Amino acid sequence: MKGREGITLILSIIFMLALSILLVAVLLLSNQEIYATQVCLNGNKAFYYAEAGVEYAQAQLLNGKSVDELNQSSVDELLKDKLGVSSLNLQVEKPSSSEYTLTCEVNYNKTNRKIVKKIKLKTSLWEKAMAAGKNMNIGTTENNTTVAIKGDIAANGTVNINAQILVNPSSTESDAKLEFPSLFDYYLSKVTITYNKGDDFVNAMINNQIPSGAVVLIRDSLQLNALNNLQFPSGVVILVEGDLTHTNNADITNTVTTNMAIFITKGKFHINSVNVNLSNYVFYVENSDLKEEKAILINNISFNLQNGAIYGVNGNIDIKNTNAPAYFTLDRGNWKYNDLPYLSGYYEGQGGYYYLLSWSDLGA
């Protein structure tokens, strides 16, 4: 009996030892599972926070923020506080006039995640002070003639600048690959008032018959000088089926009371030998029939456009001041594309404001 009791004791000790080893193994495995689950959870959170940083940068670009503004350290600190992460680095690069690379790297509970998104903004055209679907020719033969541009200029062809003139755009880009939307056709569906003659529209302006926010269709050409000293209502869109022209030696001085006004013409925009002083206007010249190589010709005038822009969709833009003291001054100002009446609706109808070029999760 005593021998059997000894064997039973030994077997019990061995069983308890094995059970202890098994329990320790189970605990170790459980801890590893918990650790792996926590690492996975941290990785997922870091991933979503990095993605949130990229989406934040994209939203800010669409709202008109610049690359320099988004690359400020204060933006990183703002996102760190909002997301509750230990470190965050947001970087925005602009390899071309319309393409952006958005990179956000996040550390959350010692787990890193990095997201890179490349997009092309459909709205990048509106960042330009002046843009041409073909070539842009800026030149003068007089040393004391001034051509001054505040803002970016670009052409899908070539930007040609005469060395004798003063041009100070923020950037100049040829072969820009800009997208020019068909705005005339888009705004036709929003027309609220139609005039068969340009003079009928002028008379309506004189008699204050154009309400704010109106989309006006003129089935004719329009002489800009006829609008001299007439203030536009706020937020109007003027569609001109013909050309934008003027009568020689008739000055044009005009301002918009509030908000931007946009002229969209299917024809060309040619003005010669006249003084022009305008504010808060955008000229969008589609030159649809392509009968004239120069979509926009501004020649031998004193031209001053403040807080506005000039876009020639099909054809060239030619700025030629040949007789001193003529000058050409264009200041784009700080307006944004969504300040133009109803323009946001165009991009929403086209599937959004950007193209996705690539998206990468570079992992931990």
- What phi-psi label fits residue 70: left (phi over 0), alpha (psi between -120 and 50 degrees) or beta? alpha
Q: In terms of pLDDT, which residue wins out, 321 or 257?
A: 321
Average pLDDT of the segment spanning 161-184: 79
Per-residue pLDDT at 33 exceeds 90: no
Per-residue pLDDT at 38 exceeds 50: yes
Spatial distance between the Cα atoms of 335 and 317, rounded to a whole number of angstroms: 22
Per-residue pLDDT at 289 exceeds 60: yes
pLDDT at residue 286 in the model: 92
Confidence class for position 163, pLDDT limits 50, 70, 90: very low
Q: In terms of pLDDT, which residue wins out, 36 or 239?
A: 239
pLDDT in tens, 210-253: 998 899 999 999 988 777 777 788 889 999 999 988 766 566 66
Spatial distance between the Cα atoms of 93 and 278, rounded to a whole number of angstroms: 34
Spatial distance between the Cα atoms of 136 and 156, rounded to a whole number of angstroms: 9
Q: Do 307 and 331 form a contact (C-beta atoms < 8 A)? A: yes
Structure tokens at 68: 């320099």
pLDDT at residue 167 in the model: 57
**Amino acid occupying residue 236:** V
Structure tokens at 142: 């007089």
Confidence class for position 299, pLDDT limits 50, 70, 90: confident
Q: In terms of pLDDT, which residue wins out, 257 or 185?
A: 185
Question: What is the H or E stretch that residue 30 is in?
Answer: helix 2-62
Neighbours of 249 (CB within 10 A): 10
Confidence class for position 263, pLDDT limits 50, 70, 90: very high
* Residues 6+ away with beta carbon under 8 Å from 163: none
Neighbours of 342 (CB within 10 A): 17
pLDDT in tens, 304-355: 899 999 999 998 998 876 565 667 889 999 898 888 989 989 998 888 889 9
pLDDT at residue 364 in the model: 63
Confidence class for position 254, pLDDT limits 50, 70, 90: low
Per-residue pLDDT at 31 exceeds 70: no
Per-residue pLDDT at 164 exceeds 90: no
pLDDT at residue 290 in the model: 64
pLDDT at residue 35 in the model: 62
pLDDT in tens, 79-122: 999 888 889 999 999 887 788 999 999 988 888 899 999 999 88
Q: In terms of pLDDT, which residue wins out, 34 or 28?
A: 28
Q: Rounded to whole angstroms, what are the CA distances from 242 to 69, 222, 225, 284, 286?
A: 41, 7, 16, 13, 10
Kindly report whether the global pTM for this prediction surpasses the value 0.75.
yes
Q: Do 145 and 325 form a contact (C-beta atoms < 8 A)? A: yes
Average pLDDT of the segment spanning 262-268: 93
Mean pLDDT across the chain: 84
Question: What is the H or E stretch that residue 105 is in?
Answer: strand 99-108
For 230, which DSSP code?
P
Q: Rounded to whole angstroms, what are the CA distances from 355 to 43, 116, 119, 120?
A: 28, 15, 6, 5
Spatial distance between the Cα atoms of 295 and 317, rounded to a whole number of angstroms: 6
Q: Do 326 and 145 form a contact (C-beta atoms < 8 A)? A: yes
Spatial distance between the Cα atoms of 205 and 225, rounded to a whole number of angstroms: 13
When mean pLDDT is compared over 60-64, 139-143, 214-218, the highest value belongs to 214-218
Spatial distance between the Cα atoms of 342 and 190, rounded to a whole number of angstroms: 9
Q: Do 137 and 316 form a contact (C-beta atoms < 8 A)? A: yes
Look at the alpha carbons of 61, 66, 69, 72 in this order and tell me if their dihedral is positive or negative: positive
Q: Do 287 and 313 form a contact (C-beta atoms < 8 A)? A: yes
